Structure 1
C-alpha cells in the first residue's frame, strides 16, 4: 500500500480548512480581485512550512492563471508585459538565490515584511509615477522577487497598472497573461530549489478543484462587488496575516 505524501499527511484538519480556503481565494483572486493572492500566501505559511507553502501556492496560482487567461484572453496589453519581463526575470533570479540561503523562520518573516511593505506602498499608489524606465525596472524587479519568495507579486504589478490608469478589463487581462507567464517561468526554478516536489503536487491535486470553483465564483461576482469596501477588507486581512507571520 502506498504511503501518503508527507506534506498531505502532515496537514491537520484545522490546516485543511485553511488550505481549502486558500485554494478558493486563489481562484477568486485570478478572475476577480488580485489582492486576495496576498492573503492566500500569508494564510498558507501559517499552517505549513513557509518554503513548502510557496511551492504549493505556486501550483494553485498556475491553475487559476490558466482559467484567467482564457476568461480575459481578449484584453491583455502584451506591450506592457514585454517591457516588464526582463526586470521581472532578474527579480525572480534574486528571489531564487534568497530561497536557497535562508531558513524557514527567516522566510516566514520575510513574507510578512513584504506584505506589510506593499500595504504601505498601496497608501500612496495614486501619487506614484509609473511612466518612467526607473519605475518599470523597480516595479518589475519587485514583482519578480516577491512572486518568487512569497507568491506576492500581484501588489507591485497592481500598483504599476493602476498608476498607468488601466481600466478594469484591460487590467484583468494584462495581469492574467503576465502572471501566467511569470509563474510558468518560476516553476522549473521552484523544482530546482526544492520547494515543488511530488508531495507538493499531491497537495495541489487535492486542492485544484477548489481553485476552479473559486475562478467560477470570481467571474460571476466581479461586476457586482463594491470595490472600495472589498479592498478595505482585503487590506485588513493581509495586515493581520502579515503581523502573525512576523510575530510567530
Structure 2
C-alpha cells in the first residue's frame, strides 16, 4: 500500500521510529538528528529524498526554538552559516550526480566520521581563528548538500572545546537550522524539492518534538563524560548499522 504519492506504510513507520530516536539524541546532545535520520531514510528513499526530508524536519523543529537559540549561541555561528550558504548547492549537485548506491555508502561513512570526531580530546574554550571557522563552514555546507549532515565538522568545533554545554548545543542547532533552510533552497534551485517530501517532513515533526523533549529531560541527569560516551556509541551504532545494511 502506498500513500503520499509513493511512500509506503513501512517507509513511514521506519521514518517515524527513526525520527523519535534521532530527536532524543538531538535533545540530549544538541546534534544527531540528520546523522541518525539520513542514513536510515536513504535505505528506503533515494539519497536526495532522504536529505531533503531531513532538512524539512530540521528547519521546522529549529524554527520553533529560534528565540532561545539566538540568545544562547556563540557569535561564531554567523561566520559558519555564511560559508554554508555558498557551499551547500555544490554539495547537493554532487549528490544528485552520484549513483544512489555509492551515495548511500558515502552518507553512511559521513555518519561514522561523526563518531570519531567526538573522541578528540577537549580543547581550550577560546574561539578558533577565522581560517578554522571558515573551513568548518565550508565542510559543513558541502556535507549539508551531499549528506544532509552539517554536523560532522561542526560537532568537534563546539563539543571539542571547554565551553558550556548549552552554548555548544544552541550554537550547533542554530547552524543546523539555517543549513536546513539553505539545503531546501538548494533543492528547489535544482528542481529536486517536491511537495511530498515537505509533507513527510511535517509528518515527522510531532515525533521529533516529543523525542527532543525526552532528550532534554534526560540531559539534566547526565554528566558531561557520560553525555559524550552515550552520544558516541549511538552515532557509531547508527553508522555501522547503515554500513551493514548496505553490505547485505
TM-score, scaled to structure 2: 0.84
Alignment partner of 1:239 is 2:239: yes
Indicate which of 83, 86, 96 corresponds to 1:100.
96
The answer to whether structure 1 residue 91 and structure 2 residue 67 are counterparts is no
- Stretches of structure 1 that go unaligned for 5 or more consecutive residues are none
Counterpart residue number, 2:28: 32
Deviations 1:183-228 (A, max 9, x none): 2122211123244211112222322221221222223222123414
Distance in 1 (CA, whole Å) between partners of 2:98 and 2:243 is 20
The farther-off stretch of 41-50 and 30-39 is 30-39
* Partner residue in 2 for 1:139: 136
- In the aligned structure 1, how far is the partner of 2:33 from the partner of 2:176? 14
Structure 2 residue 44 is the aligned partner of structure 1 residue 47: yes
Q: Conserved in 1, the CA contact under 8 Å of 2:22 and 2:34?
A: yes
Give the aligned partner of residue 63 of structure 1.
60
CA separation of 1:196 and 1:224: change in aligned 2, threshold 3 A:
farther
Partners of 1:126 and 1:195 lie apart in 2 by 40
- Give ranges in structure 2 of 5+ residues lacking alignment: none
- For residues 202 and 160 of structure 1, the distance between their equivalents in structure 2, rounded to whole angstroms, comes to 33
CA distance in 1, matches of 2:180, 2:244: 26
Report the alpha carbon displacement of residue 114 of structure 1 after superposing the two structures with TM: 1.8
SS at structure 2 position matched to 1:6: coil
TM-score, length of structure 1 as denominator length? 0.84
Residue 177 (structure 2) pairs with residue 202 (structure 1): no
Moved more, 68-77 or 99-108: 68-77
Contact 2:89 2:183 in 1 (8 A): no
In structure 1, the residue matched to 2:115 is 119
C-alpha distance in 2, partners of 1:130/1:185? 25
Question: Is 1:177 equivalent to 2:213 in the alignment?
Answer: no
2:12 aligns to what?
16
Q: Which moved more, 1:150-159 or 1:233-242?
A: 233-242
RMSD, aligned CA = 2.7
Match of 2:219 in 1: 222
Equivalent in the alignment of 2:5: 6
Q: Distance in 2 between matches of 1:231 and 1:82?
A: 26
